[in-house]
Amino acid sequence: MAAPTLRRVGGPPGRGSLRAPLPADPSPAAAGSGRQEAAGGAVRAGPVPGGVPGAGRGGRAARPAGAGPAPAGRLLRLRRHGRLAARRPPADRHGPAALSARGAQRHRLGRRGHRPPGRPQRPHQGARAAAGGAGAGARAGPARGAAEALREPPPAVLARGGRRALGEVMLQDNAWWLGREPVVGFLCGVGRRLRMGTLLSRQSCQARLRSAEGMSLAEFLYPALQAYDFLHLHRHHGCRIQLGGADQMGNIMSGYELVTKVTGEDVFGITVPLITSTTGDKLGKSAGNAVWLNRDRTSPFELYQFFVRQPDSTVERYLKLFTFLPLPEIEHMMEMHAKEPEKWGPQKRLAAEVTKLVHGKEGLESAKRCTKALYYSNVEALEAMSDQELQELFREAPFAELMLEPGMSVLDLCHKANAIPDGPSGYRKITDGGVSINYIQVTNPETVLVIGQHILKNGVSLLRIGKKNFYIIKWLQL
């Protein structure tokens, strides 16, 4: 990994405070935390009645004793992948805690830049659902797999009792503060501190202004709302770093400028390269090709297959970005791959490491079972699959629940599942070899269904008509 580079964004920031006072933080995490604690050079800040949370005199966030003066404002650019906003950790933690801010209010506007132009405005409930899905992924994804995928840390980073000392993760929703902020107060406080010339000079803004659709005022104000989010999280939770994709550079810079002008504190922004498809297009929900951490959106099997299909041109980079494998091991893996490319060793290792990180060991085993069942016609793997795995693997397949009747034949099964038409054409579909049950071709329509052959031990039959039309049959009261 290349060494991070520091980019100077300006001289010492201006000082002052917002004319319109910030509302009290209504989030559950902030309730009852109206005190400050300092130990071992760390500060924990909470809302203080009548003042800025965690602030000393003059409305500035408290600094640890002996920390010295704050350095001049600067923006940090570091080439790593991920997204979080970090705050100063509590004294009994190692490494920064993470604040994941979901933008239910900003979702309603739609982010400018790197998205299809003219995307319709989200309704309020749609924006809340989209932001809630992102929050579920932030809570469930890394938390489940990280403890299993990370190697055992050295004793120095173990907390009391031998537990891993990791920073906490806190989920915030900007609807808690933007939803109650008056428009006039927002414009007086935030609007007068962000310069029009700076906002208009952003590359994303210039691109939209030159487009045939132009730019609406709602889109233009998006950076101001994101900057206000940074300010709120800095004041109420001590947030010092905002991390986002390279397309967020302008928005992060707007947040940096607002926070430094209002508080005089030194804050930072980190941008990471965007992950693109093999055609160079951005991967994301706006482009319609997103890979989600949420299992309801992207199953462990789909996540595994996404990475196992990566071409040789990207697999080494992804191994360095998305796994914790040592660099010498990755280099050795690529050397072996050059000798035996047909084994797809780096791709399989990449898929296994990422799936385990996101979904844990159980998710990885699920992905392997689904792979064997679908691509290797492995009946044992199919028999070991749960109903959830079957529905994830065959998302478009109809799912039917049937009662096994005495003497039920293959023809009866196909009719009850509405898999073939009635009459001679459906009968010929079976006799011509177009029907298989659990990957075994059946050519006699009058064959009686047998438990253990046509019906697996998990009470499931996988009916296939032709090459791609699957039907999942769940048998009741066997």
State the average pLDDT over residues 103-123: 52
One domain, residues 264 and 351: no
Q: For the domain that residue 310 is a member of, what is the CATH number? A: 1.10.240.10
One domain, residues 90 and 189: yes
The tally of CA atoms less than 13 A away on the side-chain side of residue 437 is: 26
Q: Which residue has the higher pLDDT, 471 or 135?
A: 471
Residue 465 parent element (H or E): strand 460-465
One domain, residues 99 and 158: yes
User: Is it the case that residue 343 has pLDDT exceeding 50?
Assistant: yes
**For 77-91, how does the pLDDT look when each residue is reduced to its tens digit (9 = 90+)?**
333 333 334 444 444
For residues 166 and 461, what is the distance between their CA atoms, to the nearest angstrom? 45
- Residue 105: count of CB within 10 angstroms of its CB: 22
Instruction: For residue 22, give both structure tokens.
Output: 């910030």
One domain, residues 177 and 306: no
In a domain, 97, yes or no: yes
Q: What is the pLDDT of residue 95?
A: 59
Q: What is the pLDDT of residue 110?
A: 55
Q: For the domain that residue 115 is a member of, what is the CATH number? A: 3.40.50.620
Q: For the domain that residue 422 is a member of, what is the CATH number? A: 3.10.290.10
Residues in Cβ contact with 104 at an 8 Å cutoff, skipping those fewer than 6 apart: 127, 128, 130, 131, 132, 173, 174, 175
pLDDT-based confidence at 449, cuts 50/70/90?
very high
Instruction: For residue 98, give both structure tokens.
Output: 């993470």
Q: What is the pLDDT of residue 334?
A: 97
**For 348-401, how does the pLDDT look when each residue is reduced to its tens digit (9 = 90+)?**
999 999 999 999 999 999 999 999 999 999 999 999 999 899 999 998 899 999
Residue 424's domain comprises 396-476
Instruction: For residue 186, give both structure tokens.
Output: 């927002």
In a domain, 293, yes or no: no
Q: Which of 137-141, 149-153, 301-305, 389-393 has the lowest mean pLDDT?
A: 149-153
Tally of domains within the chain: 3
One domain, residues 161 and 77: yes
User: Is it the case that residue 231 has pLDDT exceeding 70?
Assistant: yes
